[in-house]
Amino acid sequence: MRIIAGEHGGAQLYAPRGMDTRPTQDKVKESLFSIIQAYVPGAQVLDLFGGSGALALEALSRGADFAVVADRDREAVLCIRRNIEKLRLQEAARLYAADWRQALSQMKAEGRRFDLVFLDPPYRMPVLEECCAALADMELLETEAVLVLEHRLDAVPAPDGRFALWKERAYGDTAIHFFHYRGGAL
């Protein structure tokens, strides 16, 4: 696993061992970043189920201003920390070692808001709609924020009316849906 492009292009990343983390394949990562490339420079990024932190770190490499990565798995947290240190991105990245709900509560308390959000929970955790609603309810999203939802091909997410489907792509048994946050209440 590596950073594909930008300032840190080619850098190899550490990945958690075991079956709990499913790293986004390079070809999928390259495709999704070609779709969202206009939204990355200057962005405040959230990678809520970080795994290795590869998506957030790729965004930083491509010009995002700041990235927050959260994961509750101990092995994942160690890898994310090592990857941030390896790329010397301690000033541009913040790591939350917590469950996604706890992490979002901490982010709200700190007044964080995001332009670009990656949601790629473990496939056994069908929480995409719940995550989107929580992000909106807690006012953690900028209007027109882009959300990138990676999921099993047969588990199509359906966030509430505050989110508008923008694009969708399928890659083998994986699919990615891209949404814009429209803001406002339900």
Q: What is the mean pLDDT of each run of 10 residues along the chain (186 residues)?
A: 87 76 72 95 96 95 97 95 96 96 97 96 85 96 94 87 94 92 75
Rounded to 5 degrees, φ, ψ at 75 are -65, -40
| Residue-level pLDDT at 19 | 44
The helix or strand, by DSSP H or E, that contains position 158, with its residue range, turns out to be: none
Model pLDDT, residue 23: 62
Terminal-residue alpha carbon distance, the chain = 39
User: What is the predicted pLDDT for the residue at 21?
Assistant: 53
Q: Please list the helix, strand and coil fractions of the chain in percent, rounded to the nearest 5, in that order.
A: 30, 30, 40
Global pTM value: 0.92
Q: What is the pLDDT of residue 36?
A: 96
Q: β-pairing, 163-171 with 174-181?
A: antiparallel
